[in-house]
Amino acid sequence: MSETPAEHSTVGARLRLMRPMLTPLECRILDIAFEESFDGTTALSHIADQAGVSEAMVVKTAKKLGFAGFRDLREQVSAYNAQPSAALHKEISPEDTQADIIRKVFNTATQALQETLAIIDMDVFAKVVDSIFHAPRRDLYGIGGSAQIARDVAHKFLRIGLRSMVHDDAHMMLMSASVLEPGDVVMAFSHSGRTTTVIDGVKEAKRRGATTIAISNYTHSPLVDSVDLVLCSTARGSPLLGENAAARVAQLTIMDAVFAAIAAKDYDNAERNLERTSAAVAAKRER
């Protein structure tokens, strides 16, 4: 893995996307590399001692992650750690004041947005926008918190006249998928990419010829392996908040961008529908 200075900001994001491929010990090595004390002078023996593994395993893990070896990992990750975006993330501790906590939560979300933007594949983004814009039917799949993202997306789409259906039940996903046809679209929302209910629905939709799209936090997962197009968020979690909180912000923002790009493809019609849908609910607002 050879990075130019302009690409250093993507190192952390791309390594986090690979976590599902790693063993717990390999994840531990990666976590140590992201600690504040890790820099260009950190010795191989120190990483091995901290992780409780052999030096050979540290080198092997570095190569598995795409680096030439430990020195290459140290150089690239140290450069990433020195980036302003990397410095935004701070763990929440019991000693933090409320002002500290709100700042840390906002900074973690800001980092997720910056790094997600850095890794977005613009060609895939364009294909997602075109697929949704031209689709006769759009089904959105998600469970738990991911279902809430799907509902937010459906709400945005309806504002500009794009009808879609949200399914958060295993039977409904399979039923909806079974009647899809080529040209239809399924968007699957899953932070881990390992929710079997969503994966089963996606596989059935793909078998029926629908275009399948995943919005996830990892590039290596059963869901990602099952779809046609993938838009990935990236977020650095904490023991208290986990990854989901910041990733949810990033995924909602990805879909805001998809919504805006779709609206721009037929701006006059989108504007008309925005006026109509806004007028329809205006009477429900207090004056």
CATH 1.10.10.10 placement within the chain: 5-87
pLDDT, residue 5, reads 40
Class (C level, CATH) for 5-87:
mainly alpha
Banded model confidence at residue 246, pLDDT cuts 50, 70, 90: confident
pTM of the predicted structure, to 2 decimals: 0.84
pLDDT tens sequence across 142-166: 999 999 999 999 999 999 999 999 9
Taking residues 231-257, report their average pLDDT: 83
Question: Cα separation of 107 and 284, whole Å?
Answer: 36
Query: Up-side HSE of residue 274: CA atoms within 13 Å toward CB?
Result: 11
- Residue 77's contacts (CB-CB under 8 Å, 6 or more residues apart) are 11, 12, 15, 33, 34, 38
**Which of 88-92, 101-105, 127-131, 216-220 tops mean pLDDT?**
127-131
Express as a percent the part of the chain with pLDDT over 70: 92
CB atoms near residue 23 (< 10 Å): 11
Does the domain at 118-282 match CATH 2.40.37.10? Answer given as: no
Banded model confidence at residue 220, pLDDT cuts 50, 70, 90: confident
Mean pLDDT in the chain? Answer: 90
Full DSSP string of 138-168: EEEEE-THHHHHHHHHHHHHHHTT---EEE-
Q: In the predicted model, is pLDDT for residue 4 greater than 50?
A: no
CATH 3.40.50.10490 placement within the chain: 118-282
pLDDT, residue 88, reads 62
pLDDT tens sequence across 198-212: 999 999 999 999 999
Task: Decide if 150 contacts 124 (C-beta within 8 A).
Answer: no
Q: In the predicted model, is pLDDT for residue 264 greater than 50?
A: yes
pLDDT, residue 204, reads 98
Question: Cα separation of 189 and 52, whole Å?
Answer: 36
Helix (H) or strand (E) holding 231: strand 229-232
Strand intervals (E) in 102-222 = 138-142, 165-167, 185-189, 211-216
pLDDT, residue 6, reads 42
Taking residues 80-85, report their average pLDDT: 76
pLDDT tens sequence across 103-120: 888 888 888 898 899 899
Banded model confidence at residue 89, pLDDT cuts 50, 70, 90: low
